[in-house]
Structures are given as structure tokens and as C-alpha cells.
Structure 1
Amino acid sequence: MTSATTCLAEAAFGPRPDRWPLPAPTSQRDRWLRAVAAGGQGRYASALADLACIAAHTAPDPGAEPLLSLAYSTRASFLRQLGGHDLARGWDGRAWAVAGQDLEAGADALVGLAADALGVGRFALSATLLQRAQRLIDGSGPARLPVRLHWVSAELNMAGGAGTLAVGHAERATELAELTGSPRHAVKSAVVLAAALCSGGRLPDARRVADEAFGETERLGLVPLRWALACLLADIGSTVHAPAHVAAVRDAAADTVRRRGGVWTRR
């Protein structure tokens, strides 16, 4: 790999999610990695520009369809982060349509569709899509795929009132995230685990997990996850930070997302 590719891979899925500025891409896959990394920092305008460039340069080439699928899935994930599950569904549908036989692209699209269905209350459909994704992954593909699968499985169980099962999926995601070498995935897993612990009535454990991850979001510059944790801690209380501080961080993170090109969707 080129030095640029290495830097971008480390920022997107490796140990340096805080890296900014990011180097110029040397390929369209590099451009996707840069979009993923920028999105993790809440730099949505930059990320969306790269995704649009991928679509403009790969759509005519059937051999590049898996990368196009990943770009569509990534755009959908940004929309979900900002509350737009209905809008995300269309992009995940496009991702699935062009994924072909590519395992990574197909699994990302299915898990994304499951998350979209969950977000609009279609729990049975979400469960069916997760089962299809599980069969597709089946121990293969990038290490991040089962992590994502367990995130959405935990969220589905939370929505269904099955707190214990939700905690189990979230704990498994946390374990698997450590194997990916990605602090961003580890922090997102902690967000899901804290929420699952809440759903299981384990508020002291939820506060402990959320408070620890809250500090990591600041250190790593993960603004969307910082906002999510601040929202959670504003509801359940922090053992470290005063309510006014948590509320200030929440509002500042939301403003930073707006300044960086994110558009919040309210349902």
C-alpha cells in the first residue's frame, strides 16, 4: 500500500481515527476510506464530496460496483447518524442492488437495511435482514462486519424490550471491536453497550461505560459519538461530569456537526 493508503486505512478503520487533515487519495478506494474517516469525525461535507466523486467515476464501470455499493452504504450510515432512517433506506437499497457477490458490500448493505427498518419501527423486517446478513458473513470478511451486526442486533433487542439479550449482543460487539484495532469501533460499541445496560435496568454500569467512552470521544475527535454519549448521559446522569457540562457538550457537538455539513433530520 502507498503511504497515503496506509494513513487513510488507519484513520478509517485503524488506530488513528483522529487524523486530520487527511492525505489526498491515490485511488477511488482511498477516497472511500477518506470519506469513512471524515464521517467519523463529523466532517460530513468533506465525506459527502468524496462519496459523490466515487459515484461519478465508478458508476459506468461494472467491475467497480462493490466500491460503489460501499459508498452508498456509507452515505446511508451518515443519514442514520443524523436521524434520517427513511432517507437512508433508499441509499442502502441502492447499495444492495449493486453489491453483487461481494461479501463486504453485501453485508454492509444488509446490516444497513436492518438498521433502517429498525429506525422506522419495522422490527420483524429488521430481524429477517439481520439473519440474512449473519448467513452472508458467517465468519468471513473484514472483522468490522460482525461488530456492526451485533450493534444492530443489540438495538433491535432494546427496541423489543429484551434488555438481557441486548446486553449480550453489545458485550460481544465490544469484544470483537477490540480485535479490529479500531478505537472508533470500540467507542461505538461502548455507546451501544451503555444504552443496552440502560434497557436492562443496570444504570450504574451504564454510567460507568458511558463516562469512560465520553472521554475517548474527546481524545479521538469523534464528534457524532460524543453527541450520542452526551445525549445518553443527559438522560441517565454522569458520575464524572455535571449536568450543565454534559448539556453544553451535547449542544456544542450538534453545532459542530452542522458547521461541518451535517443536516439533522427530525422525525
Structure 2
Amino acid sequence: MKEEDLRRAAFGDSPDLDVWQALAAAGPRARWLAAVVLGGQGHYAAAATALDALRHDPDPVIASLALSTRASHLRQLGAHHLARPLDGAALAKAPQAGPRDPDGVDAAGARTDALLGLAADSLGAQRLHEARRLLARVETRSWRSEVRKGWVTAEIELASGQARQAVEPAEAAHRTATSRKALRHELKSALVLGTSLVVWGTPDGLNRGLELVECELNHSAEKRLKPLVWPSALVLAGHAPTVGATAIDRATEALSCVLRRADAVSRRVALDSPWVPSGLLRSGEPPNADPQTNFLTD
């Protein structure tokens, strides 16, 4: 499988591409790209196997990116405490300089991914001042870093009760991802932006936010991006009564699928995590956790 195709799947217009054969590729970059794609599709166990091997790769950029990608997948399942040491190790491995890459698969991108991961870990632990300090250290030198910084910035503002301040960085992330035709990043950005607008709650913002999230949900489901489906469905369930029951069903189906595809440790942690609405898997009732701030950190 060509690296160009893997990049289209990881960072472009084909996030639903079948990349399984690339897990056996000779080059570590191809295997890392495949793990990124599989994580986006919710195949966390398969991605974890590849990433756990790549964290020991002789190339420090790939080793660092593997660690921070694995941390991101753990965080998406509510395991912020397990993600934090991996992000710390990723930062330690990231080289200070090296050749530039258009998608941030380079030394600067590795360092940025690690710092953004640490900021998201701090957010998950409700250490907001620490999250802001880490965010202030981030230097963005690629479109991907700009988008991810926008996500984390918006999420910190949401967690701080400052929804209005979350809209601008979310808007910028959505604009950048859309301009790059990076579909998975565009859809995640639409979720972050839509949620920010919904939480802000102005009449126009609420309508636009719900439209963004509903459109994103349908597109994410079409592209089989399960990790984006369940938080989107829960946002709609909480704010769009006409689709509430259907949204809960879609959230349950997507989250069940994601957990079935996770490794045993991640699955066990997710079921006990306050960040993951696993209660709906047991009772069929809407979760007590708040999807406005808890399900976005990446």
C-alpha cells in the first residue's frame, strides 16, 4: 500500500479506507499511519498492537508519535491517567529538530502532539491551570497541529465554563481542516465547534450547532468513524428532543462497537471511567456524564 494512500486515509478524504494490510509494511511510518487510521475507525486493539511495537522504533519521531497516538486512543476511552505517562514519554523522545513534513509527521509535530496530549490529560484530571500552561508551550508548524491545538483550546474553555471563548478556536480548527480536505479532522472539528455553539446557547448558535453536529454524526456514521458517532449522538440527545431516542440508540450501538474492538485493559478502564457513558450500555438510559465537556478530549 502506497504512503500516499495511507496519508489520504489518515489526513485526507478517505478515512474509511481499508488499511489492514499496511500493518505488515516494512516501513515504520506506514505502520504508524495505518494505526492512526484504525484508531479513527475505532479498531483500538489492532492499533494498540502496532503502536506498542512502534514506541521502541529507532526513529525517535515515529517512537514519539506512536506513544502519543496510543495515549490519544486511551484518552478517547476515558483513560486519562494511563495516557499521561505515555504522553510524557512521547515528549521525552521527540527530537528537537529534523526535516519538515506537510502533515506534521516530524520532530516539531511529535513535540506538539505530546504537549497537546499532556494538556488534554490535565484537562481530564480537571487541572485546568496546568492544561493552560502546557497549551502555552505549543508551537504549531503544520495544519494538523493547528487543528488539534484548536480542539484542545476549545475543550479547555468548555471545561472552564467559558463556552463563548471556545467558539473561536473551534471555528478556526474547522476552517483549517475543511480547507485541507482532511475529512476526519473536519468532522471532529465540526463536533467540537457544534458542541461549543450548543453550550454557548444563543438562539442562532444553538441552531447552527445542532445542524453541525447532526450533519457530522451522519457523515461519521457513513464513513464508519465510530469514535465520533457516540459523542455526537449524545450531544443531540441532550439538546434535540425530536431525535433524542434515536440518538441514544445510535450512541449505544457505536460505543458498544468501539468497546468490542478495544483491548482488554482499555475496555475495562472505559467501563469504570466517569468520562465514558458506559451506564447506557447497562441500562439503556441516558448517561449522567455531561457530553458537553467530557467526550471531546483527544
- Of residues 190, 209, 212, the one that matches 2:212 is 209
TM-superposition CA deviations, 1:181-236 (whole Å, max 9, x none): 21000000011011111221132222111111111111111100001101111111
Paired amino acid for 2:250: V
User: Do 2:64 and 2:93's aligned partners in 1 also have CA atoms closer than 8 Å?
Assistant: yes
- Whole-angstrom distance in 2 between the partners of 1:49 and 1:86: 20
**Aligned residue number for residue 200 of structure 1:** 200
- Whole-angstrom distance in 2 between the partners of 1:76 and 1:21: 21
- Of residues 228, 236, 239, the one that matches 1:236 is 239
TM-superposition CA deviations, 1:85-137 (whole Å, max 9, x none): 1111111001001112120100110011111111111111111111100xx22
**Aligned residue number for residue 245 of structure 1:** 246
Check if 1:68 corresponds to 2:63: yes
- Whole-angstrom distance in 2 between the partners of 1:253 and 1:214: 11
User: Do 2:55 and 2:64's aligned partners in 1 also have CA atoms closer than 8 Å?
Assistant: no
**Aligned residue number for residue 105 of structure 1:** 110
Q: Percent identity?
A: 39
Check if 1:84 corresponds to 2:82: no
What SS class does the counterpart of residue 23 from structure 1 fall into?
helix
Instruction: Note the 1:33-52 alignment, pairs <5 A.
Output: 33-52=33-52
User: Do 2:122 and 2:131's aligned partners in 1 also have CA atoms closer than 8 Å?
Assistant: yes
- Whole-angstrom distance in 1 between the partners of 2:19 and 2:10: 13
Paired amino acid for 2:89: R
Check if 1:266 corresponds to 2:240: no
**Aligned residue number for residue 145 of structure 2:** 145
- TM-superposed deviation, 1:21: 4.5
What SS class does the counterpart of residue 167 from structure 2 fall into?
helix
Deviation >6 Å, runs of 4+: none
**Aligned residue number for residue 191 of structure 1:** 191
**Aligned residue number for residue 225 of structure 1:** 228
User: Do 1:161 and 1:199's aligned partners in 2 also have CA atoms closer than 8 Å?
Assistant: no
- TM-superposed deviation, 1:238: 5.8
- Of residues 14, 17, 20, the one that matches 2:15 is 17
User: Do 1:174 and 1:189's aligned partners in 2 also have CA atoms closer than 8 Å?
Assistant: yes
- Whole-angstrom distance in 2 between the partners of 1:235 and 1:15: 30
TM-superposition CA deviations, 1:125-156 (whole Å, max 9, x none): 111111100xx22xx2x311010001010011
Gaps of 5+ in 1: none
What SS class does the counterpart of residue 2 from structure 2 fall into?
helix
What SS class does the counterpart of residue 19 from structure 1 fall into?
coil
User: Do 2:55 and 2:62's aligned partners in 1 also have CA atoms closer than 8 Å?
Assistant: no
TM-score, length basis structure 2 = 0.81
What SS class does the counterpart of residue 178 from structure 2 fall into?
helix
**Aligned residue number for residue 285 of structure 2:** none
Gaps of 5+ in 2: 97-106, 275-298
Q: How large is the Cα RMSD of the aligned pairs?
A: 1.4
- Whole-angstrom distance in 1 between the partners of 2:3 and 2:151: 27
- TM-superposed deviation, 1:244: 2.2
- Whole-angstrom distance in 1 between the partners of 2:112 and 2:154: 17
